[in-house]
Chain A
Amino acid sequence: MERFEIQQPAELLLPEAPDPWAYLRRFTTARIAIGRSGGSQRTSSLLDFRLSHARARDAVMTDFDVAELDDLLKNAALETIHLASAAQDRRDYLLRPDHGRTLAESSRELLSSHVGAALPDLVPIVSDGLSAVAAVRHAAAVLVPLLASLKASGWHISPVMIVPFARVKLQDEIGAALGARFTLMLLGERPGLGAPDSLGAYFTHSPGPDKSDADRNCVSNIRKEGLEPALAARKIEWLLKESAHSGLSGVELKDSEPTSRLPDT
């Protein structure tokens, strides 16, 4: 899977009682020069760390506010369909990745009732994944401009599928059921300490059970301090159109995409 990321800018926030080399903090967001008491961490850096971890944990455990996301999408005149994966709850989702990769039986039936005469060019899917906060905060901000632009280019877009507790591969089942040319899944990424609300976008050309991660493209680190949602929308649109044009996706698309390389800083 090819990944596209943007590095967050280094902030020069100084810890209390830093080490004399604190000026090096402008080169990295790593927790360097944080000072010490004896050989141990000072109270302030210990608590800073705990706060970051608490936010990341809360991001993982927060319930997916499906209604809020639904409102954001409907306000932009986007239709939605609510589906469920086979995962029973968050614990089951974390322990059984296979459940997050499959649709619940009831959702299969619901989906089959939506198969229409015109097969969609793109099926957009949103899930909380490992950060519901990311999905609620950024998914609409990516989808609204992206889908408007694709529609203007003549793409036939299905309603947005909202699926709690999904893994990336679930898009293959949904896409195959609807005969989609592309699926695009936006879901909350595993929260890092500095980034509890990072959204990832994964798209697949000709989705189906035989597809693997190597067949997908990923645009990651979508959040205000990382790759801004509006920029992410443009990037995804460019990649989707490139993929539609070349018929390639995943690792193969990488080599034909000049901006895919990380900036050489």
Chain B
Amino acid sequence: MPYSITLGRSSHHFETLGRLMACATPLRSGDVLAGVAAASAEERVAAQFLLAEVPLEDFLNHPLIPYEDDEVTRLILDSHDASTFRSISDLSVGEFRNWLLDYETTGETIAAIRAGLTPEMVAAVSKIMGNQDLVLVASKIRVVTAFRSTIGLPGCLSVRLQPNHPTDDIHGIAASTLDGLLYGCGDAVIGINPATDSVPAMDRLLHLMDDLIRKYEIPTQSCVLAHVTTALRCIEMGSPVDLVFQSITGTEAANKTFGINLGILAEARAAALSLDRGTVGKQVMYFETGQGSCLSADANHGLDQQTCEARAYAVARAFDPLLVNTVVGFIGPEYLYDGKQIIRAGLEDHFCGKMLGLPMGCDVCYTNHAEADQDDMDTLLTLLGVAGCNFIMGVPGSDDIMLGYQSSSFHDSHYLRQVLGLKPAPEFAEWLEKMRITGQGRLLPVEPKNPLLAHGKI
């Protein structure tokens, strides 16, 4: 279905809805690399004018990737609730933006129409929204999940403690974990990216964290971010698995290069649920995503990277996750070139995830070959805090010595909590006070006899 517009003396033509979506996307290097970006700044705005007029219904009638070709498209269309959609079916993309910004539209109103939304509708409206729109609408939406802590409550900001070590050294990981706990972090999850993806390595790390969590009765959950099939084998052999992790993406073909499909995710979730290890909730999945992964896998079907990313959220929402984390700046400058592109992408991902009902967190991060620095990360961190992001990462001094990139630090979470009056998950906040790590919202001087430090002297 072609789309055309004349603006003054120049006319613009877009052959398909997918092409229109790609050209309407704010500039980023990954879409240029894919050859799908608008050819000029004017063409981009022309596409946005046209996209604003597209009825939301068109996204149901013209799937961007054919139903027959892709199980993610089938998931999206088969789970779409036509009766819920009826209340917004007469809106265009531009009218949908206005509706979202209306005073009368609240988080509850958005939740009520959510089953009628597809990722493509949400991606489309995000493309014509400014950064402030992405912040404002996301801030209306709360998505609350729970396992041993409750994440995403109003006024709360949680932290994934990320104690990585280049050789999975147990003592090195324990040292960084204690550092994070003593800085009041770890209420979203204690999550380790293993250097080696193997069953014995994962089992060893799981036991390390399980012992720590049980000994000190820490109201949090652990996760080793190995492949889902590794987690399944660990569950079979009786390892203490709290959460199952997997990187996911928005097309069947790209997920295949990750060695996964919807079936294996369902199997892993069922296995984790069968362990019944949650106390205040039963959400057992942790997903990570990031713009550019489909193109990187040569499986983007001619779509722009942000639309592919939104489709990954349809995969996530089918498995009722505890945490979804967009690792926004990790992929490198060929997909998101600089701080400006990373900031925009982080806000888009958080918005789209929240619109689709996901407990969105963000790895506010960059690599050393991207045109970005800590000041850009401070900006994104602040914007996400205002937008109501569920969780961020906590890495010692921002420097991940295993993955070789920079993320947010433990200190960063205290900055954000101070300026925005945010608190950790309630169960964890209570534990921090009991352990004399925090008092009245501040970090306390840690006594040498603090029981956690006694643990460090192994």
In this complex, which of B369, B374, B406 has the most chain A Cβ atoms within 10 angstroms of its Cβ? Answer: B369
Q: Does A119 sit within 8 A of B, measured CB to CB? A: no
A40 to B442 alpha-carbon distance, docked (Å): 11
- In contact, B446 and A53 (Cβ under 8 angstroms): no
Q: Which residues of B contact A190 (CB under 8 A)?
A: 367-369, 404
Nearest opposing residue in chain A for B443, CB measure: A39
Q: Does A38 sit within 8 A of B, measured CB to CB? A: yes
Q: Does B435 sit within 8 A of A, measured CB to CB? A: no
Please choose the segment from A25-33, A66-74, A246-254 that sits at the chain B interface, where 4 or more of its residues have CB less than 8 A away: A25-33
- Residue from the list B178, B404, B417, B447 in contact with A192, Cβ < 8 A: B404
A238 to B406 alpha-carbon distance, docked (Å): 35
Beta-carbon contacts of B428-458 to A below 8 Å, as 1s and 0s?
A: 0000000000000011001110000100100
Q: Shortest beta-carbon distance, B23 to chain A, in Å?
A: 19
Q: Does B276 sit within 8 A of A, measured CB to CB? A: no
Q: Does B176 sit within 8 A of A, measured CB to CB? A: yes
Q: Which residues of B contact A97 (CB under 8 A)?
A: 33, 334
Q: Which residues of B contact A263 (CB under 8 A)?
A: 167
- Contact-residue bracket for chain B: 35 or more
Beta-carbon contacts of A49-66 to B below 8 Å, as 1s and 0s?
A: 110110011011000000
Q: Which residues of B contact A7 (CB under 8 A)?
A: 166-167, 169
Beta-carbon contacts of B409-423 to A below 8 Å, as 1s and 0s?
A: 101001101100000
A230 to B171 alpha-carbon distance, docked (Å): 30
- In contact, A40 and B411 (Cβ under 8 angstroms): yes
Q: Does A107 sit within 8 A of B, measured CB to CB? A: no
Q: Shortest beta-carbon distance, B452 to chain A, in Å?
A: 9
- In contact, A21 and B411 (Cβ under 8 angstroms): no
With contacts A33-B179, A60-B368 taken as known, whether A5 is within 8 angstroms of B411 at the C-beta atoms is no
Q: Does B342 sit within 8 A of A, measured CB to CB? A: no
- In contact, A30 and B374 (Cβ under 8 angstroms): no
- In contact, A30 and B401 (Cβ under 8 angstroms): yes
Q: Does B313 sit within 8 A of A, measured CB to CB? A: no
Q: Does B196 sit within 8 A of A, measured CB to CB? A: yes
Q: Shortest beta-carbon distance, A105 to chain B, in Å?
A: 21
Q: Which residues of A contact B32 (CB under 8 A)?
A: 95
Q: Which residues of A contact B374 (CB under 8 A)?
A: 49-50, 53
Give me the interface of B with A, judged by CB distance under 8 Å.
29, 32-33, 163-169, 171-176, 178-179, 182-183, 195-196, 333-334, 337, 367-369, 373-374, 395-399, 401, 404-406, 409, 411, 414-415, 417-418, 442-443, 446-448, 453, 456
